[in-house]
Structure 1
Amino acid sequence: MPDQPHCLVIGAGIIGASIAWHLVRDGAHVTILDAGPGGGLATRHSWAWINASWGNPEAYFRLRRQSMQEWRRLAQEVPEISVNWSGGLLWDLPPERLESYASEHASWGYGIRLVDRVEARRIEPQLADPPARAIHVAEEGAVEPLAAAEALLHAAIARGAKFLPHREVTALDLVGARITGVSCGDDRVAADLIVLAAGAATDRLAMSAGIALPMSAPPGLLVVTKPAPPLLNGLVMAPELHIRQRVDGCLIAGSDFGGADPGTQPQAVAERILSAMRTLLQDGDSLAFDHYTVGYRPLPGDEFPAIGFSQAHDNLYLAVTHSGITLAPAIGAMAASEILRGDRHPLLTPYGPARFGA
C-alpha cells in the first residue's frame, strides 16, 4: 500500500465520519461517499447516549469505557463537538438486577452508585414519582448526533478529505481478490483501500464482493417534543421510557435507548410514548408533540461490533456496529491505526469480522 494510501470511506454517519477524520489526521488521502447529504441515517435518529451500561460482557464494557474517554479527547481535537456529560439515572431493571449491575460494574471501575428516592429526586427534581431505588452514573452523557457527525465530516474536509454527497454506492468493484474501487450507478471511484461503514446497507454492499455478513436492522421510533423549559438535568432511563432533553429544549424519548418498535401504527406508538413522557414529569402535561422519527439500527448477527479487515479481501475494512454514538471515537482512532500502521488494538480482538467468516 502507498505511504499515503487513498482511502475511500463509504458512509458519512458517525462511524464513517470518525474513521475519515482519524485517517486524514494521520496522513491518509481520504474520499468519503454517502448516499445522502451526510450525517447518516441511524446516526441522525439516535437517542445518543454515551455509556458503558448494563447487559454486556467485560470485554465489551472495556471497549465502551475506552470510547467514553476518547470522546473527551475528540472534543478537544474537534472543538465544534459538544458533549453533555450530564449523568444518567436508571431504574428500568428489576431490583435484583439493579443490585447486580451496580456491584459488577463498580468492580470493573465504572463510576456507578445506587441511590434512594430522596437522592433520585435531588438528581432529577421534576420527576413526578421518583424511584425508590435507582442507579446513577455521573460520567455518562450525550451528544447531538447529527451535529457531531457533521462536525467530524467538516473537520475531515478542512484537513483535505474530499466529500461526495448523494453518491449511492451500488457495488464494490473487484479485480481478482482485490477491491479496486466502487461503482455509483454508471460512475466509478477508484481507491487503494475501502472502508465500508454504511450502517444498515453494509451487508448488501459486502455481498457485492461475495462477503456474507449476518446483520439485521431493527427499526426504532423516537418522539421529539417542541422546546420546553428545563425539565431534566441528565439522561433518565425509566421502565419502558428513556428520555433526555436536548440542548434546544426539545425532549427526545423512546421505549428504550434504541427506540420503540413502530409496528404498523407508528403514530399510535408515538402517542403512547408522549403520554408516558407527560406522566413521568411533574410539568409533563405542558409537553407538546413535534414529530417522531424512525431509524434503522445496524446490528451484526451476534449484536457486537464487526470491525476489521475482511479475510476475503485484504484492502477492505469493515466497520459496522450498534451503539455507534458511544463507540465512534474509539473505532475511528483504532481503525485508522490498524489501516495505516497495521496496529490492531487489543480491545478490538473479539470483534473482527472473521468470526462471521467475513
Structure 2
Amino acid sequence: MAQHRPRIVVVGAGIIGSAITYNLAIQGADVLLLDKGHTAGSGVTGRAFGWINVINGTPGDQSYALWREAVAEYRALQVVLPTAFACARSGALLWKSTAEETETFAELHRHAGERVELLSRKTLQELEPRIRRAPDLAAFSPDDLALDPGQLAIDLVAAAVAAGGSTLFGATAYAIETANGKVSGLKVGHETIPADIVVMSAGPGIQELTDGLGIQTGLTTSPALLLRYGCNRPIISHILRGPRLEIRQATDGTLLVAKSYVANGDENLPKLIGETLLAVMKDELDLPAQVTLKSAEIGERPVFVDGLPRMGFLSEVENLYLAVGHPGVILAPLMGRVTAEEIMEVRGKNATLTPH
C-alpha cells in the first residue's frame, strides 16, 4: 500500500498562479500549472507597471498591513531566487502639488513605520538630473522595487518546474468537474484532467469557471493602462510619481507609464492617451527626440468591492480554492506562500491509502 499523492491543478499562470505553483512545487506537491497563454505572465500580469511598494497604500487601511507583509515576502524571495531580481531597481520618488502636501504625505507613512525621506529640490536634481520641473520637496521611498512582473512569473514557473512541478500552456479550462460535491477534474478541450484540488488564480477568467458551478465570487474588473515608449539611453534611475506622471525605466531603456483608464468606446483611445502623455513626459523630463510610443495596453485588474484579495477554499465545492485580487504583483509572493501552506495542510489531512 502507498499513500496517494493528490494532484493539484492551478488555473492561471499570472504572477499569483505562478507564485502558488512555485510554493507548492518546492514543498513536494504534485502540481500542474495550466494557462491559455503560451507563457507565464502573458495576461494581465504582462500589463502591470511593476511597482512593489507600500507607499501607495493608505496607513490604517486593512490592505496597508497586508501590503507591508507582502513587501517583506519579496525580500525573502530575493534571497532564495536572486537571479529573478537581477534587473530590478530600487527606490521611488514621489511628490504632490505642493511641498506642504508632500511633507504631510511623507509623515503619514513615517508614522506608520515606513522608511521615507524628504529630499530638497537640489538633492532630487542630483539623483534625477533630467527632471525639468523639479518640485521644492520630494518623498523618497528607498525600499520600493521596480521589476518586470511577466519575467518574474516566468522565473517562478521555471523554479517550480525545476522542483518537480509541471505546466500546460495553450490550454483553456472550460469547466470544473465535480463528483459528490467535490472537485474531480478540469475540462480542457475534449479532455478532462483529473484533479483532487483546483486552484483558481486566472484573474477575470475565474468567473466563467465559477458560473458553471453556480458560484458568485463578487469578482469585478478595473481597467488600467500601461504605456511603453522606446528610448535608447538612460533617462531616470528611480520610479517617479508626480501629479501629472507615473513613470519608470526598464533596463532595456523602455520607459513605462501607468495611467488610470476609463473606456469611452473609442478603440483608439489608449493610443491617443499615449500620445498625449508623451507631450507631458517631454514637458516634465529632458527626453531625447526619438522617444516614441511603442504600445498602449489595457489590463483588466481583478478586484473586489472591499479592495482586498481572496484566498481560501470555497464552501460550495470541496477542494476548490480561490486565490485572486489586486494588486496582484505586490501580493503574489505572500499569496503564493499562504495558499500553498493551506493547501498542503488540507492535502495532508485528506491523503488516503491506495494500492500501487
TM-score, normalised via structure 2 length: 0.89
CA shift at 1:266, angstroms? 2.1
Is the CA contact (8 Å cut-off) linking 1:220 and 1:262 kept in structure 2?
no
Higher-Rg structure is 2
- In 1, are the aligned partners of 2:57 and 2:63 still within 8 Å (CA)? no
Partners of 2:324 and 2:197 in 1: CA distance: 17
| Structure 2 SS opposite 1:329 | helix
Deviation at 1:55, TM superposition (A): 3.9
* Conservation of the 8 A alpha-carbon contact between 2:28 and 2:163: no
RMSD: 2.1
- Of 302, 306, 309, which residue of structure 2 is paired with 1:302? 306
Asked if 1:35 corresponds to 2:36, the answer is yes
Aligned partner of 1:203 in structure 2 is 207
Specify every segment of 5 or more residues in structure 1 that has no aligned partner in the other structure, as ranges: 344-358
1:27-66 equivalent positions in 2, closer than 5 A: 27-40=28-41, 41-56=43-58, 57-66=60-69
Cα offset, 1:342, TM superposition: 5.6
Q: 1:36 to 1:95 in 2, by over 3 A?
A: same
Q: Which amino acid aligns with 1:77?
A: V
1:149-228 residue pairs with structure 2 within 5 A? 149-228=153-232
TM alignment of 1:77-156, pairs within 5 A: 77-82=80-85, 84-92=88-96, 98-156=102-160
Quick check: 2:6–2:197 contact (8 Å CA) kept in 1?
yes
Report the residue type matching 2:145 in the other structure: G
Residue of structure 2 equivalent to 1:5 = 6
Structure 2 matches for 1:251-262, cutoff 5 A?
A: 251-255=255-259, 259-261=260-262
CA distance in 2, matches of 1:226, 1:93: 28
Match of residue 23 from structure 2: 22
Deviations 1:134-172 (A, max 9, x none): 221000011111111101111111111110101111111
Contact 1:92 1:240 in 2 (8 A): no
- How far apart, CA to CA, are the structure 1 residues paired with 2:5 and 2:346? 14
Aligned residue for 1:233? 237
Equivalent pairs counted in the alignment come to 339
Question: How far off is 1:3 after superposition?
Answer: 6.7
In 2 relative to 1, CA 109–269 (structure 1 residues): closer, same or farther, beyond 3 Å?
Answer: same
Query: Pairwise mapping of residues 323-338 of structure 1 onto structure 2 (< 5 A)?
Result: 323-338=327-342
| d(CA) in 2 for partners of 1:4, 1:99 | 56
The answer for unaligned runs of 5 or more in structure 2 is 348-356
Q: Which of the pair has the greater relative contact order for Cα pairs under 8 Å at 6+ separation?
A: 2
Q: 2:63 touches 2:307 (CA, 8 Å); kept in 1?
A: no
Shift of 1:221: 1.9
Moved more, 327-336 or 3-12: 3-12
Q: 1:272-351 counterparts in 2 under 5 A?
A: 272-283=276-287, 285-341=289-345
- Cα distance, 1:276 vs. partner? 1.5
1:72 to 69, 72, 75: 75
Shift of 1:14: 0.4
Determine if contact 1:254/1:273 at 8 Å carries over to the other structure.
no
Q: Is the 8 A contact 2:99 2:136 kept in 1?
A: no
Of stretches 17-26 and 90-99 in structure 1, the one that deviates more from structure 2 is 90-99
User: In 2, distance between residues paired with 1:185 and 1:342?
Assistant: 29
> Is contact 1:49–1:143 with CA below 8 Å preserved after alignment?
yes
| Contact 1:89–1:236 (8 Å) recurs in 2 | yes
The AA in structure 1 aligned to 2:53 is N
Q: Give, in whole Å, the separation in 1 of the partners of 2:121 and 2:156.
A: 40
Structure holding more strand per residue: 2
Query: 1:354 maps to what in 2?
Result: none
* Displacement of 1:299: 1.3
The 1-side partners of 2:4 and 2:27 are apart by 11
Cα separation, 2, equivalents of 1:101 and 1:207: 42
- Pair 1:298–1:287, CA change in 2 (3 A): same
Letter in 1 for 2:31: V
Q: How big is the shift at 1:205? A: 1.6
* Structure 1 Cα separation of the partners of residues 136 and 253 of structure 2: 28
